[in-house]
Amino acid sequence: MPNKVSRHQRIAAVLAVLLACASAASAAPNLAIALNSADGTISLIDSETYKVIGKTPVCKEPHHLMPTPDDKSLIVACSASNQLVFFDPLTGKEQRRIRDISDPYQIGFSPDNKFFVSNSLRLDRVDIYDALTVKLKARLHAPRTPSHMAFDAASEYVFITLQDSNEVMAINLKTLKKEWVMAVGPTPAGIVMSPDNRYLLVAIMGEGYVEVIDWRTQKTVKKVATDTAAHNLHPRGDGRHYFVSNRSVSGSISLLDTQTMTVIDKYEVPGGPDDMEVRADGKELWATARFARRVQVIDLTTGKLKASIPVGSSPHGVFFLNHAPRK
């Protein structure tokens, strides 16, 4: 005779199936997460249908988000509440909070994952933490208004844009001291290292260009015109090209060739495009539109706006796991 299955075993089996289904439903591999700075929330978006499927409170005045180096967590920097909030990028659920991180505005990990750096925009300082223990290692005065950051490939330096003094500052990560400061154009914002590690590329909001700097000699070698209010830069994923968001109301995004240091394409993106993300297949560019309460999706094959997704107030960052390489 076949073995009889007890009632408890049947119930356990049904529960196991239900739990598995619930887990699969809650983990959305197509999830995109947009940060809404003025609302203090994140919007959860189905990246296949371009529909908002949820909104989650985060904290007071969050600015910028970034993944951990392994992409297993998405960190939101909460400047007014002095904390970091970690979310699961698969589900959008909160994982943990780290408190007593003073005024984190822009954050970043050094390429060797030894340092975690936090720019305190309002307090005019840069805090450097041990990335593993999150213990403060150094606090440096950085007048005025430290904004974005970039690292060299060897993790020897972090470079900070100082928006209100129109400068770039270099901090030596071996000595944890300021090494040099140089003047740049008005209102520098986004900053990245070129793929060959030769140049810093700085978005100059005040005049609408990217300033190309030989960081070893602290000399500007070129100014590449983009469009009004050049604000941020994001890699195309091919080791050569960067998108430059031009954060005006009419708005556009330029495509910069880092080998020729020329703009080779431009996309009309209304509403103040700011932070960006690129699909892994290279077919879509997503950008938060700060002035329009939207995430704009650009079809990179046609160069046209494909979708405009309503989110919260002052969206300031977007992320999905299915992204192009950071190069």
Q: Tell me the domain boundaries of the chain.
A: 29-320
Q: Is 193 helix (H, G, I), strand (E, B) or coil?
A: strand
Rounded to whole angstroms, how far apart are CA atoms 271 and 249?
5
**pLDDT over 70 at 5, yes or no:** no
What integer pLDDT is reported at residue 26 of this predicted model? Answer: 44
User: What are residue 60's phi and psi, to 5 degrees?
Assistant: -80, 125
Rounded to whole angstroms, how far apart are CA atoms 3 and 242?
65
Pick the CATH number of 29-320 from 1.10.3720.10, 3.40.50.12660, 2.60.40.3880, 2.130.10.10: 2.130.10.10
DSSP of 207-235, one letter per residue? TTEEEEEETTTTEEEEEEE-STTEEEEEE
Q: Which residues pair with 119 in a beta bridge?
A: 106, 126
What integer pLDDT is reported at residue 72 of this predicted model? Answer: 97
C-beta of residue 52 within 8 angstroms of C-beta of residue 309: yes
C-beta of residue 223 within 8 angstroms of C-beta of residue 193: no
Which residue reads 């309002």 in tokens? 122
What integer pLDDT is reported at residue 29 of this predicted model? Answer: 63
Rounded to whole angstroms, how far apart are CA atoms 168 and 218?
10
What integer pLDDT is reported at residue 22 of this predicted model? Answer: 39
Mean of pLDDT over the chain: 93
CA angle, 301 then 325 then 254, to 5°: 45
C-beta of residue 269 within 8 angstroms of C-beta of residue 318: no
Tens digits of residue pLDDT in 113-136: 999 999 999 999 999 999 999 999
Tens digits of residue pLDDT in 135-180: 999 999 999 999 999 999 999 999 999 999 999 999 999 999 999 9
Considering the chain, what percentage of its residues have pLDDT values greater than 70? 91
Rounded to whole angstroms, how far apart are CA atoms 318 and 33?
6
What integer pLDDT is reported at residue 6 of this predicted model? Answer: 53
Q: CB-based contacts of 38: which residues, under 8 Å, 6+ apart?
A: 312, 313, 314
**pLDDT over 60 at 21, yes or no:** no
User: What are residue 129's phi and psi, to 5 degrees?
Assistant: -115, 155
Residues shown for the chain = 327
